[in-house]
Structure 1
Amino acid sequence: MKQTSPLAWFEIVTQDFERAIQFYEAAFDIKFSRCESEHMKNAVFPYTEGYTGGSLVYSPYYLDHQPGAGTIIIYLKTDSVTKQLEKINALGGETVFPVTDIGENGYIAGFKDCEGNYVGLWSQNV
């Protein structure tokens, strides 16, 4: 049995990315670092390397999300996003978005669990 937490990352889904950044920066007196890829825009909350971090996110994968439940995505770490997603689907889960290369930061994928919750997967390996 693994003794470490599988929690890797969290995302707060936005529909108006710039408005959300302004809100959180003002509310918490912080400054986001930004990164963008073909699949998403992230505004990363300040955090210490080695600890769980998170971001505001805007992505075409989340365009159907409505405010409220299901708009904060928790990412669980795994050894292989592909293998974990295959196992989840075999157990009745459903892929929300496919394995996606996020460059030097590894790979992510999203799934809907048996309760209908959206959950993310992260790993350095595909």
Structure 2
Amino acid sequence: MTATATATRTISWFEIPAINFERAVRFYEAALDQPMQRQVFGGVPMAVFSHEDEATGGAIVGNPRDLRPSVTGDGVTVYLAAEPTLQATLDRVAPAGGKLDGSIVELPNDIGYIAFFIDPEGNRIGLHSRHLR
């Protein structure tokens, strides 16, 4: 008999590539209005998004030879939490150096709202919040 584990979450970590690491970190700190923790893992600079110990974590990764920013939208999309509201976060994107990509979408069944932006590195990233304003 094989023992199986039940996953407490499907995603355990994500990475957003950056060619210009410092520019990318400054953008996300300003757009999300929260500091990031800069670290080096295996010689690779990373800036880790704030998260609870048991929550899904992620980082900006300054390693252009292994990961490349992508704006095509034909791959995986990462959605970041937009706090305190989606609109408040969207209002910080352009002044921080990003560009909005499309309109706000209201999700069914009170799931909330999503929107997309292009970061200064060229990554297309989603935002999600239960609250629009």
TM-score (normalised: structure 2) = 0.46
Q: TM-score if structure 1 supplies the norm length?
A: 0.48
Which structure has more strand as a fraction of its residues?
Answer: 1
> Larger % of helix: which?
1
Give 1 or 2 for the bigger CA radius of gyration: 2
